[in-house]
Amino acid sequence: MKQIDERIEKSSNALAAKLLWVMIALQVIVLIVKVCLGGGAYCLLDVLALVVGLGAAAVLMTVRGVWHAGDEILREIRNACLNKAFMAMLMTLLIGEFLLILLDEAHAGWYAASLIVWSIPALIYTVAAVKNGLFQWGGKKAETKGKVQLAKSTALGALFFGIVMGGPSCIRDGAFDPMGIVKIIGMGAMWGVLFYLMFTALLKVGEKQADKAAAEAEHEE
């Protein structure tokens, strides 16, 4: 499904580079609020996310020598570095929050605050990507291939979601409960269908936006 299109890559990098600072700002605010409310003991993920986000950005920008991006090319390289840092911080928050809530359910409320930190930039990223036509199949052939790939990935995701959500229902009073399997399939199917439909709908809108931008450019001058 994924074609390497330099135009899309550059625009996505520029978008993520801006959103990294939004995510860092949100993380700092959440961290301060948590400490002020007495949740200092549950800030491990918040600190880790900041270290990963800022650390990755600093290391990558130092390695590529783009701290002072004076021209377009250096800015593009810096955006690529910041995009990687954005993704690293996002993944840290997503996986970290999931694991902490799973392992320490009693304090899930504190860990759930990370939702604010990653969901706002992720939502802005998605809306902007769809609006600017960055989120698209990129052609009929790519669409056909992409849909198959998306269906496979969705099936895996649905299975994971089903096991996480319905898995505990398989054991009741120390014995296997077949209804748990039904629950796993039900939860997985519900998530899978919703995700697939939502994802393809977003791609359809993104494709239309990209066509609109290309048509407008064609008719200019």
Partner 1 sequence: MKNKKMKIARIEKDLSQEQLAEQLGVTRQTIGLIESGSYNPTLKLCVAICKALDKTLDELFWPETEG
Show the DSSP H helices in the chain as ranges: 6-36, 44-64, 72-103, 108-111, 114-131, 140-166, 179-219
Q: Tell the smallest beta-carbon distance from residue 134 to partner 1 (Å).
A: 10
Nearest to 2 by CA among 121, 150, 130: 150
Question: Which residues inside 149-178 make contact with partner 1, applying CB under 8 A?
Answer: none
Q: Among residues 11 and 169, whose Cβ is nearest to partner 1?
A: 11
Question: Which residues inside 36-65 make contact with partner 1, applying CB under 8 A?
Answer: none
Q: Is 133 left (phi over 0), alpha (psi -120 to 50) or beta?
A: left
Which of the stretches 1-9, 79-87, 92-100, 115-123 binds partner 1 when contact is defined by CB under 8 A? 1-9
Q: Among residues 71 and 221, whose Cβ is nearest to partner 1?
A: 221
> What sign does the CA torsion over 207, 210, 212, 215 have?
negative
Size of residue set near partner 1 by CB under 8 A: 22
Q: Which residues bind partner 1 (CB under 8 A)?
A: 3-8, 133, 136, 138-142, 210-211, 213-215, 217-218, 220-221
